[in-house]
Chain A
């Protein structure tokens, strides 16, 4: 089937304005008749729930953490992009749009990206109004820094805690709506099913994580803003509870999964140091503003203390290969280059899977104090984890799974192919194409939550004849709750020999080794062989302790791993289908002589949207062709 993204036709520059002029509205006094379910309380979900509550809708918001303030948006450090052009360095909405499409390797929908760039300026205004303490200069004006894939300074930041501060802004707006009783918050609940009645999303089934009770909640619309799935790999920078579960439940109810193989491996993470490790820690890409990345030229030097390696024996490989962008080359390119260096046996640190990020020159240029002001918390964090002082010796970094550009397929209105089901933020696939630029995740989350969904949900709601018609007493809710109970009891009854975390690790290693930074037909087929074997082992030999009607963290994680075991196959199928290299998806068969990604626009300039056909059954591919009218397709070059 050919999918239609429903982007407004005509000139892209005015598409969002025209959409808003033409859209159907819901009368203010009618808004209170609608109930909207929002799953997730991060930048997209929190901002969306607060804004919809402000408008007068009844909102029920769900999160698995104990408070909406803890969503993993909080982990983002470096900043948020906007086309304000405060530094007068040539930025504009067009440039932010162009950089985002190009950064995504020309695999995103033009109109969606234009809208994102257009509302980016509103986001900064909104956050400042909320009291977000962005960095300022002595005269009181906002400060900017640079990020990868851009030649202008358009990134706003709050020390190294921008995600936290933006989330606390959204949380404050949400708190205000909770107090006003416009939003009802359900912390410590996990969505375990989407309830679809006659092909339309009408509610969700959740597990109360404190009591184990299964609850049903109806809504006239369901919004999923449940973040990313890269915990499908072993050791990512995601929070421990981040999972594919919510969106996978939607896939099993008919929602299409778009471009799942577009996963981002972030170049500046602290390297792995041991078997017992539970997660990897990201350090903001903003460090690449001042840090220089290098490895020794000679493998014999790798064991030496970095201060003993003279300048001319160092290879500042990003500066050498990409002179115009240098250390600020986009993430996919930086990550692959680090891997290449380590594969060539030039890596440093334990296991030789690391490259240096050196601040010596920056400290000499602007002083240690200034560097500490810019990135102090990152240096502290680095020292706590590695026991090394980043001011005195270069940091060691290595790429780690971090973000997914893929996600549920949505049209221009953030609506999935299931009417009534909307998807925001990292959970959808819409704007980042095959690679996301730094400081653009925060931008997208808040754009979707504050400035897109409050508009685009209205036409759908206005089209409903009688809001609140389907309630929890509908048979579909009872069936969904029974299915969840049955599956829960099944997980607890296996009583096998392996722990949930052991199996999660096995799957994660298979995915990292075969479907990670470099993929080939052979490795992908190998993964497709191994994943079902691990899944069988899980359902026959996992040991989930405890009871269902209790706080049971093993059971929570078992459910998430079970979903990853199904989803992993779809991700791999997508990677196998996409016979080209683009952005974060690198197929070793498709590269230039210089090792750069080689796109195939003739055959793969489309969104791959996959329909679930049953566990272990090959999913069905639907295509949404991508059209480029405002910009010309070009080979992505950062040289």
Chain B
């Protein structure tokens, strides 16, 4: 099939950037979206032009590195798919495809389709962990975690940290991303001890990093390549509320 691509080109963080148009000829339906971009880049190199910079690494939908908005949707139109796993059989001959970087104040564009997502690491550093030291922990079966609880935690833990939820949100909210970690650890006995401090610290980090708030658009869940549910945002809010109530030990 033949396609027309409109790709965001931006030389660096200070550059204004603009859409450039490239024809994509003889695209095989079995190609992944990124393999299609590889071929465009080979063509640009042959013409002595600068190839399109885009983030990618594992190309099997798990590392969370790839990050493009395709025709207005983060990771493109296929549900629960990263752009590296999006295949060209989803498109038809003659289609026009607009390819842009994640757009959010907290994700400054670095070059073309590459953005800086350090703010997501900062949110995790605020409290996305159980404070256990290496060694000196109890036997793994000493904590009984019934299957439904383990499954709930795993549903949340599947987040790959790509940032599509933020790119999809009109408020650039990082609530789904943050809630996935808060909910995973709040559901498990290991995480309960620090639940109050964790939700407070991670919520504060969201604000400090310049992300917006959640106003229930649910665009995040629709864009999430792992189908992380917005129910975890409700869990985050509950955990946050709980943390505001003084307890007998923290008066």
Contacts and interface: CB of A to CB of B under 8 A. Distances in A.
Interface of A: 47, 50-51, 54, 65-70, 72, 74-75, 84, 86, 122, 124-142, 158-159, 161, 164-165, 168, 171-173, 175-176, 178-179, 185, 187, 210, 237, 239-241, 273-274, 276-279, 281-282, 380-381, 384-385, 387, 450-451, 454, 499, 501-502, 543, 545-546, 550-551, 553-554
Given A66-B117, A129-B138, A545 B146 contact: no
B110 A142 contact: no
A239 B58 contact: yes
A113 B220 CA distance: 46
B11 to A, nearest CB: 8
B88 to A, nearest CB: 10
B134 A72 contact: no
A444 B87 CA distance: 35
5 contacts: A66-B116, A134-B140, A136-B146, A240-B57, A274-B30
B50 A546 contact: yes
Counting chain A CB atoms within 10 Å of each CB, the highest count among B61, B140, B160 belongs to: B140
Given A65-B57, A164-B62, A551-B110, A129 B137 contact: yes
Given A66-B55, A72-B57, A553-B53, A133 B154 contact: yes
Interface stretch (B125-133, B164-172, B208-216): B125-133
A278 B126 CA distance: 37
A249 B144 CA distance: 47
B154 A159 contact: yes
B124 A175 contact: yes
Contact of A136 (B60, B150, B184, B191): B150
Contact of B42 (A69, A129, A499): A499
A545 B150 contact: no
The 7 closest A-B pairs by CB, nearest first: A140-B144, A172-B129, A129-B137, A133-B153, A136-B150, A133-B154, A128-B140
A385 B158 contact: no
A381 B140 contact: no
B63 A72 contact: yes
Given A273-B30, A278-B32, A499 B134 contact: no
B58 to A, nearest CB: 5
Contacts of B42: 499, 501-502
Interface string B106-137: 00001100101110110011101111111101
A174 B67 CA distance: 24
Nearest to A499: B45
A67 B45 contact: no
Given A67-B117, A130-B130, 11 more contacts: A47-B134, A75-B62, A86-B141, A128-B190, A139-B144, A185-B121, A187-B121, A240-B56, A240-B58, A385-B85, A543-B45
Interface residues of B, number: 77
B188 A75 contact: no
A239 B30 contact: no
Contacts of B188: 131, 133
A586 B121 CA distance: 44
A51 B48 CA distance: 47
Nearest to B156: A133
A387 B86 CA distance: 11
A124 B140 contact: yes
A126 B58 contact: no
A510 B187 CA distance: 51
Interface of B: 12, 28, 30-32, 34-35, 38-39, 42, 45-46, 48-51, 53, 55-65, 78, 80-81, 85, 87, 89, 110-111, 114, 116-118, 120-121, 124-126, 128-135, 137-141, 143-150, 153-154, 157-158, 160-161, 184-185, 188, 190-191
A128 B143 contact: yes
A135 B150 contact: yes
A75 B138 contact: no
B61 A554 contact: no
A211 to B, nearest CB: 10
Given A241-B57, A380-B80, A454 B87 contact: no
A142 B55 CA distance: 37
Contact of A276 (B39, B45, B65, B81): B39
A171 B124 contact: yes
Contacts of A138: 146-148
Contact of B57 (A172, A239, A454): A239
A454 B139 CA distance: 21
Contacts of B89: 387
A54 B63 CA distance: 26
Nearest to A134: B150
A141 B147 CA distance: 8
Contacts of A128: 137, 140, 143, 190
Contacts of B85: 381, 384-385
Given A129-B190, A133-B184, A139-B144, A381 B139 contact: no
Given A129-B138, A129-B190, A176 B116 contact: no
Given A142-B140, A274-B30, A129 B61 contact: no
A238 to B, nearest CB: 9
Contacts of B157: 132-133, 158, 165, 168
B131 to A, nearest CB: 6
Given A75-B60, A210-B110, A125 B137 contact: yes
A129 B78 CA distance: 36
Contacts of A136: 145-147, 149-150
A70 B63 contact: yes
A131 B35 contact: no
B42 to A, nearest CB: 6
A81 to B, nearest CB: 14
Nearest to B121: A67
A239 B60 CA distance: 9
A354 to B, nearest CB: 14
Contacts of B147: 135-138, 140
B154 A139 contact: no
